[in-house]
Every structure is written in C-alpha cells, then in structure tokens.
Amino acid sequence: MQTSSKQIKSALISVYHKDQLETIVRLLNTHGVAIYSTGGTLKFIKDMGISATAVESSTGFPEILGGRVKTLHPNIFGGILARRDNPEDIQQLEQHQIGTIDLVIVDLYPFEETLRTSTDEAEIIEKIDIGGISLIRATAKNFNDTLIVSDRDQYAEFIELLGKKKGFTDLEDRQLFAAKAFMTSSHYDTAIFNYFNKKGALPVFKQSFNASKTLRYGENPHQKGTFFGELGEVFDILHGKELSYNNLVDVDASLNLIAEFTEPTFAIIKHTNSCGLASRETLKEAYLAAFACDTSSAFGGVLACNRLVEADTAAEINTLFFEVIIAPDYTPEALEILKQKKNRIVLKLNKKSDNKTMYKSLLNGVLLQDVDWSTEKKGDFNSVTTVKPSTEQLSDLEFAIKAVKHLKSNGIALVKNRQLIGMGCGQTSRVDALESAIKKAAAFGFDTNGAVMASEAFFPFPDCVSLAYQAGIKAIAQPGGSIKDKESIDEANKNGQAMVLTGARHFKH
C-alpha cells in the first residue's frame, strides 16, 4: 500500500527570481536530493559549489529558440507525471530510461510586472511563460507523488517544511502546494487573457486577485468580509485601527468624489454620500466650509481632501470625531495631532483611481460597466432659458454637478459659493430629494436664496423647478431628455430662472 509520506529524492529547479533560492538549494543538498536545472538557475547553483545536472543531459536535447524551449520534453514530464503506484507507468519509465522527479521549483516570467512598466508588445509577449506554466500544472496534477513550489512567495513556507520534515512531504502538504499552484496558473492566465482581450472583443468576465485581507466583518457583524486586492497601491495606513468593510466603501466613494476637484477641496462622506463638500483658497477654509454643511452628519464620517494637511487644518479637524481621513500627505506636526486618537485611521493617498470599468455581483452573475468619469463643464452646457446663468452661477453649477453625480439617486445638490449647502439623496421621488435638500439647508442656517441646483437626472414634471423657485434658487442644471422638458423650461422662464441642460445623466444606485 502506498504511503502518504514521500521522500524528496530528485528536484527540478528553474526559476526567474532567485531570492532565498540559496537556502533551499543548500537544504536540498543536505538531504541528498539530486538536482536538475536550466540556464541561469543552473549557473547560480553551481556557483554555490553544489552539484546539479543540466536538463539537456536528461533530455539529450539542447535549449533552443533563445530559451523558449528548455524543459518541454517527455523525459521531464514523464518523470513528473508518472504515477508511482501504477505498474504500467513505472514500466514505461524504465523502458525509456526516464528518472522520476519528486519536486519542482519553478516561477513564471513576470508578465504582470512587464505590463505595468512597458508598452512594447514584443517585450510583453516574451514574458508569457510556456515551460514554467506547463511544469506547474503537471506537477500539481500529480500531487499524490510530487510537490510543486510555484512562486517565490512560497519559498519561506517550503523552507520551513523542509526543515520540519527533513526532506519528506505528506499528502496534505502536496495538496496544499498544488492548490497554490493552480491559483498561480489561473491568475497568470487571467492576466494574459485580459491583455489580449483589452478591447473587449470577447464578452467574457475574468478577474483575479491573489492578495486578500480578511476584514473584521462585512457590512454588518453577522456577515463575513474580505477585501481582494493590493490596498497598499492606493494608500499607506499611517495610524489607527484596521479598516472595516464600511470604511473601505466610504473611502472609495470619497476618493471618487475628491478626484473631481483641482482647487483646495474637502469632502465629508457618510454612507457613500457627501454630507459636506466645499472648495476654498486654503484647505483649512475648505474644511470649515465642508463641516458647516451638516455638522451633525459629519460625526463618524470619512474625510478626504486633495492637498497636504498642515498643522492648522489638523487642529480644526481634531475637534471632530471621525473614522477615517485620507489626504495626499501630512506635515509631521499635522500627523502628530491626528494621531492623538488611538483608533482614528489616517491614510496617505498613493495613487488616484484609474479604473476604466466597475462591477458588482448580483442574481447569478456579474454586472460590468464603464466607470462614470464624465463630468460636464460650462462648455458642455446648453442654456435653454431666456435668463442666462452668470459667471458665478456657472462656476457653482459646475460644482453642483460634481456633487450630485456622487449622490445616490434620486439626488439633488444645492450649492452656493462652491459649497454644498443642501443635499437630498436616495429618494424614490425627485421632489422628495429636493424637499430634503431645502430642509437640510435651512436646518444648518443656509439661505437658499440665490443658490443653484443640480439634478443627476431629468425632471419628469416641472414641479421641482417650481419648488426651487419658491426656495429662491436662481439657476438649475439638469441633463434634459424628458418628453416634458419644455414644461420645465417654460416654468423656469416664467420664474426668471436660468436653466442649462448638460446632456448627461448620472444615476447612481
């Protein structure tokens, strides 16, 4: 009866990255493992003073095509795939004088890294690994007898295994490394597929994330939550407790909103909606104006800005209880102030989002769409009323469109002097959203007389225009496209309001 424990007697090593490889090779040599290798890896091992056999000595065939073909040979794959408990397999190995291979250590050409640093197609194509991926799949398939180390990230774990089990492996070990191998190969193939399908000619959804972080819980404590991806590419965590599921959702919303602005701007986000938003000449002034928008909802929110945070701004922020702040950077003095609260999360932005698509799971599949990077400016406006918006109103309308675009539908944003003074969002009726915005503005001491209004979708009836007029709102931006646009325009003309059509809807669900 075949035993689960297997001694490693022979190993094939062919790697691109050689970090920690010396430790592995010396351990294998200590356990008397016969080593086969190729190219640069073979030289690396021999330079250590350790004996290794060139693969071509086993295959009787040299590397060809500039190294494109090295290990693709029956003498190699037969030695890997032979089932040790299958008499016919063993008989064929003996017939063809093929030795068994118990361990394969191989990594793959850095395809994804090359994609990030090069646009040269020839260079990218050359980083598509053929022999390595074949070795990985073959060894993983025969996990009953062979062990595969398929990535340099697994070296440390394998070193520990070698030391602990003194050159032997159990079935459980081989199964685990096989699972990791198929994770490596599937991730690699997904990256290659998406490169070739970058124009979307094939309507196929394939995404792969190897990196993951288990969260304390999901949206609620009874739900499990995990983030898949490299958070470190987006921001550094400078201080505070671990980010929660809801923190990450709000950080994403805040970054998407703040990316709309070039002037010093502060945003305060609660449940993905902005409860405070303002642009000013200085960041401190922007924060104070944003906080004034809704001093109640700001409690426990996520703060985002687009400038270096200095000590005077940090001192103002420090008086508020909030969960997270994210900024391009902080002065040392500002950072010390913000670190005064142990659990407060302080993030330093590394990279703005450049995602072109977004997706979410629902029903029994996935919805995919382009990211809504469209934001209409005054040059896109179609002024449709007798009264035209003033220069100041045009500036505020641009601001209002940026604000309302990031509110849950139905959404309304009221703006005055580059400050969100009232917002209504997530309402089932646009009138309800406007009434909510007007009520909120009044609750925090704002005079809506002379303000502007933006709606993320068209007005199906003129009732919102009439209600806005009663609140003193003088200029309106909306996409247009309703069969009753003329009724809304006529209402605005009757009231002496300015109205512009943007031609772009920004539903957000």
Enzyme catalytic residues: 141, 271
CB 315, CB 323: distance < 8 Å: no
Q: How would you write 338-362 as a 3-class SS string?
A: HCCCCCCEEEEECCCCCCCEEEEEE
Q: Cβ(454)–Cβ(437) under 8 Å? A: no
* Side-chain half-sphere CA neighbours of 207 within 13 A: 13
Secondary structure class of 499 (helix, strand, coil): strand
Residues in the chain: 509
Crossing angle of helices 155-165 and 171-196, in 10° steps, is: 170
CA nearest 238: which of 310, 304, 324, 299?
324
Contacts of 477 (CB under 8 A, 6+ apart): 376, 381, 397, 400, 401, 452, 453, 454, 455, 499, 500, 501, 502
From CA 294, how far away is CA 425, in angstroms rounded? Answer: 14
Q: Which two tokens mark 59?
A: 């295959």
Checking DSSP bridges between strand 53-54 and strand 34-37, what pairing results, if any?
Answer: parallel
Q: For residue 65, what is the enclosing H or E element?
A: none
Distance CA 390, CA 96 (A): 88
- Pair type for strands 302-305 and 324-327: parallel
For the CA atoms of 63, 64, 69, 73, the dihedral, rounded to the nearest 10 degrees, stands at -60
Q: Is 71 exposed, middle or buried (0-12, 13-18, 19+ CB in 10 A)?
A: buried
CB burial of 363-379 (b: ≥16 within 10 Å; e: otherwise) equals: eeeeeeeeeeeeebebe
* Closest to 451 measured CA to CA, from 436, 427, 469: 469
Q: Which one, of 334, 341, 286, lies nearest residue 311 by Cα?
A: 334
Give the 3-state secondary structure of residue 370.
strand
Are the C-beta atoms of 359 and 367 separated by less than 8 Å? Answer: yes
Nearest-angstrom CA–CA distance, 447 and 479: 25
